[in-house]
Structure 1
Amino acid sequence: MTPHDPDQAHDEVDHLVAAWRQERPDLDVEPLQVLSRVSRLARHLDRARRASFAEHGLESWEFDVLTALRRAGKPYELSPGALLRATLVTSGTMTNRIDRLAAAGLVRRRPDPEDRRGVLVSLTEAGLKRVDDAFADLLRREHELLAGLGQREQQALAGLLRTLLIPFDATDTGAH
């Protein structure tokens, strides 16, 4: 039995679907074939993410802020407003997060030279190292999660999931 042979391999979702088909033959339970698996994979991904972040002394929210700054490119800085848009939190929450990251030495604030009232938040060297190490570890774990699929299968799955997500992203003005 190989994991690529759908006629041979069975998972928990197969058992769940079979039970529902027996108990509720009047319902079309086909969506469970995909969406229950997506849900289960999301839980595995969440566990891998939390483990990766914990190994690097980070919480999920810290990783989100640090990666937003890292993706901005050199000098790895954004305004608090840009961080709000990137992380989808309230202004008060972001202020608290920046305060905590600054106290930990992972970010620093500096006056915005183009706006006397504004500030810019940037990664410190320690923040850059921490986020780079955590991101590399996360990608290693994500590769492990996808190890059962070849590159073409991963690309096909990514395309199918994109097709499903596009309508949701189009209606979510805060999507990134």
Structure 2
Amino acid sequence: MNEESSTVAGQTRDEVDRLVSAWRRERPDLDVSPLEVLSRVTRLARHLDRARRTAFAERGLETWEFDVLSALRRAGSPYQLSPGQLLTQTLVTSGTMTNRIDRLAAKGLVVRGPDPNDRRGVLVRLTDSGRELADAALTGLLKNERELLSALPDARLEVLGDLLRELTVQFEAE
């Protein structure tokens, strides 16, 4: 197949096919096959980031705001977590989390209250408007993500999800 061909094994060529082909031509001594997967993952991540930012912006949210609101929403009723639990779920520093909670509280999306099990502790609770906003943002996010994945049938998406899990599990501590 020549480099200008628009298909590879019956599939439309993409930019990654072109760059891999160029590297194989220029550096035949190297195995560039990792680029075929990871360059596509990187490109897909850019599209996903754009889709997420769009879904959140449509509801007046920043990505970090959705991260905190969704962690509280996933906690289930009464939709509250300690700041430490929020740190664990959002992977930010204590100072960053304090600032984020302050900003969300100023918007009326969360409230702080005492932890009944720890006199010194605080719990952050999602307000009704925070829950409604998290739910609306999730709905928009899932719509955008479905559009990104629309080229694959459900059976192939399941296989892809399984394969990606095999790759990511090595980086995740339980």
Task: State the TM-score, normalizing by the size of structure 2.
Answer: 0.93
Q: Is 1:46–2:49 an aligned residue pair?
A: yes
What CA distance in whole angstroms lies between the structure 2 residues aligned with 1:85 and 1:101?
Answer: 18
TM-superposed deviation, 1:119: 1.0
Q: Is 1:20–2:23 an aligned residue pair?
A: yes
What CA distance in whole angstroms lies between the structure 2 residues aligned with 1:6 and 1:159?
Answer: 23
Q: What is residue 111 of structure 1 aligned with on the other side?
A: 114
In structure 2, stretches of 5+ residues that fail to align are 1-7
Q: Deviations over 1:148-171 (max 9, x none)?
A: 00010000000110111111114x
Q: What is residue 5 of structure 2 aligned with on the other side?
A: none
Amino acid at match of 1:93: T
Equivalent of 2:97 in 78, 94, 99: 94
Report the more deviating stretch, 126-135 or 109-118: 109-118
Amino acid at match of 1:86: Q
Structure 1 vs Structure 2: percent identity of aligned residues? 66
Q: Is 1:160–2:163 an aligned residue pair?
A: yes
Secondary structure of the residue aligned to 1:121 is strand
Q: What is residue 130 of structure 1 aligned with on the other side?
A: 133
For 1:66-77, list aligned pairs within 5 A: 66-77=69-80
Aligned length: 167
What CA distance in whole angstroms lies between the structure 2 residues aligned with 1:145 and 1:41?
Answer: 8
TM-superposed deviation, 1:112: 1.0
- Ranges of 4+ aligned residues in structure 1 off by more than 2 Å: 5-8
What CA distance in whole angstroms lies between the structure 1 residues aligned with 2:45 and 2:37?
Answer: 12
In structure 1, stretches of 5+ residues that fail to align are none
Q: What is residue 8 of structure 1 aligned with on the other side?
A: 11
What CA distance in whole angstroms lies between the structure 1 residues aligned with 2:37 and 2:123?
Answer: 43
How big is the alpha-carbon RMSD for the aligned residues of Structure 1 and Structure 2? Answer: 1.1
What CA distance in whole angstroms lies between the structure 1 residues aligned with 2:39 and 2:93?
Answer: 31
Secondary structure of the residue aligned to 2:11 is coil
Q: What is residue 3 of structure 2 aligned with on the other side?
A: none
Task: State the TM-score, normalizing by the size of structure 1.
Answer: 0.92
